[in-house]
């Protein structure tokens, strides 16, 4: 069921404290932690605590929670003193999503190319 923790979800396990992560910020609705395979000097994932498979599911089911994720991305960027940054949501395997729990990648600390991929 959407929103409910999933036993086989890595990010649900991080939210539940069953898998360690380097957490940089936490609110009632979100957790932000450093990516274990960083693609930029600053690479932090911001996730909703509630399980939603991807950004599209999150936006459809809980638009206010989607806004919380974006607000936290800004707060993390401020704490990391990033003057510019990129926020990426991968949705589906073809876009590179490997963990099927909605999450935003906050990337910064270097110049970004366009197009990105």
CA distances from 20 to 9, 27, 48, 68, 109 (A): 14, 17, 17, 23, 24
Q: Mind listing the pLDDT tens digit for each residue in 11-68?
A: 999 999 999 999 999 999 999 999 999 999 999 999 999 999 999 999 999 889 999 9
| Residue 83 CA neighbour count, 13 Å, CB half | 2
Over pLDDT 70: what percentage of the chain?
98
Domains annotated for the chain, with CATH where assigned, are 10-108 (3.30.428.10)
Report the alpha-carbon distance of residue 9 to residue 13 in Å, rounded.
6
The catalytic residues are: 103
Compute φ and ψ for 36, nearest 5 degrees: -80, -10
């Amino acid at each position: 069921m959407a929103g409910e923790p999933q036993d086989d979800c890595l990010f649900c396990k991080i939210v539940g404290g069953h898998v360690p992560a380097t957490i940089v910020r936490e609110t009632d609705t979100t957790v932000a932690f450093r990516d274990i395979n960083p693609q930029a000097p600053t690479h932090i994932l911001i996730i909703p605590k509630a399980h939603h498979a991807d950004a599209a599911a999150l936006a459809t089911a809980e638009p206010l929670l989607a806004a919380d994720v974006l607000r936290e991305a800004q707060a993390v960027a401020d704490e990391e003193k990033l003057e510019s940054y990129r926020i990426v949501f991968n949705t589906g395997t073809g876009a590179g999503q490997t963990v099927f729990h909605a999450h935003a990648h906050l990337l910064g600390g270097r110049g970004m190319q366009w197009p990105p991929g």
